[in-house]
């Protein structure tokens, strides 16, 4: 396994590849993402243990969407069972994926716990349990500070887990090493991921703006949810589809072609 360093413009390419692959199989990817979200949401409703289990399943679910992208990129149709690909790669990798999920759940709960020390848990309750959110709550300084702290703490957590499920699944890397290699890959390709994030942020904001303009033009504000839900679902599916390409370009097999700007061994 080799870590590949890519130029900043690759962030735009990742965005384009995600959108292009989604367009090849829009119904498949939208359906898979909806199934993924529905399953996680249902599991999280189980009292006490539901939320930790749902969080622990997220790395494996993300891997399932990446595996679906790999299949679609080969010109094939990804079937629903691809979502559990992370649990079908042998006992050793199954155990590693479960450990990775447990680490993610612990990390996420820790982030929310730290934010709760700022506002008494209001933000964590809204984010995790779907608590009522009102303008008065949002405008509170403590709530805003807690949200900001949670976001800042979640960024390094997400970078550690960005490539980790793929490294565990496709390379058989141990959970701890996968976190290390994922973090290193994201840092070494900082500018590519920065461009990638900015492009996706612009895409989400632009899509929401256009949808709002359409609703305003129609003069029926009740249509906002009817329009934003399917559009948001498709955009989120595109975003997750692009994950695979970030992994594929950051990690190459030893016998693959030399990367454009050099590579670093990650073994």
pLDDT, position 255: 45
Question: Regarding predicted confidence, which is higher, 154 or 127?
Answer: 154
pLDDT, position 230: 85
C-alpha 206/C-alpha 113 separation (Å) is 33
Q: What is the pTM of this model?
A: 0.87
Q: Which of 154-168, 189-203, 213-227 has the lowest mean pLDDT?
A: 213-227
Question: Regarding predicted confidence, which is higher, 87 or 132?
Answer: 87
Reported as a pLDDT band with limits 50, 70 and 90, residue 263 is very low
Tokens matching residue 13:
């390419």
Contact (CB, 8 A) for 103 and 59: no
Q: To the nearest whole percent, how much of the chain has pLDDT over 90?
A: 66
1-60 confidence digits (pLDDT tens): 789 999 999 999 999 999 999 999 999 999 999 999 999 889 988 988 999 999 999 999
Place of tokens 């990650």: 266
Residues in the chain: 267
C-alpha 167/C-alpha 161 separation (Å) is 10
181-211 confidence digits (pLDDT tens): 999 999 999 999 999 999 999 999 998 888 8
C-alpha 55/C-alpha 163 separation (Å) is 17
Q: What is the 3-state secondary structure (H, E, C) of 124-189?
A: HHHHHHCCCCCHHHHCCHHHHHHHHHHHHHHHHHHHHHHCHHHHHHHHCCCHHHHHHHHHHHHHHC
Helices marked H in the chain — which ranges? 10-24, 26-44, 50-73, 91-119, 122-129, 135-138, 141-162, 164-171, 175-188, 190-218, 223-250
């Amino acid at each position: 396994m080799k870590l590949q360093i890519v130029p900043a413009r690759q962030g735009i390419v990742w965005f384009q590849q995600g959108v292009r692959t989604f367009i090849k199989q829009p119904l498949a990817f939208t359906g898979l993402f909806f199934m993924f979200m529905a399953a996680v949401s249902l599991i999280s409703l189980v009292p006490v243990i539901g939320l930790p289990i749902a969080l622990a399943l997220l790395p494996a679910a993300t891997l399932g969407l990446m595996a679906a992208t790999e299949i679609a990129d080969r010109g094939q149709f990804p079937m629903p069972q691809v979502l559990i690909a992370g649990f079908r790669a042998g006992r050793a990798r199954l155990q590693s994926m479960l450990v990775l999920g447990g680490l993610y759940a612990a990390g996420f709960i820790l982030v929310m716990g730290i934010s709760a020390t700022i506002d008494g848990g209001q933000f964590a309750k809204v984010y995790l349990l779907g608590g009522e959110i009102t303008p008065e709550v949002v405008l509170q300084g403590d709530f805003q500070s807690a949200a900001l702290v949670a976001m800042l703490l979640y960024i390094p957590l997400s970078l550690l887990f960005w490539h980790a499920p793929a490294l565990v699944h496709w390379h058989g890397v141990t959970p701890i090493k996968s976190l290390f290699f994922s973090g290193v890959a994201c840092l070494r390709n900082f500018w590519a991921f920065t461009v990638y994030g900015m492009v996706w942020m612009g895409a989400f904001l632009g899509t929401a703006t256009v949808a709002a303009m359409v609703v305003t033009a129609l003069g029926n504000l009740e249509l906002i949810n009817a329009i934003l839900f399917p559009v948001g679902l498709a955009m989120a599916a595109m975003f997750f589809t692009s994950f695979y390409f970030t992994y594929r370009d950051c990690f190459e097999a030893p016998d693959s072609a030399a990367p454009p700007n050099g590579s670093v061994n990650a073994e």
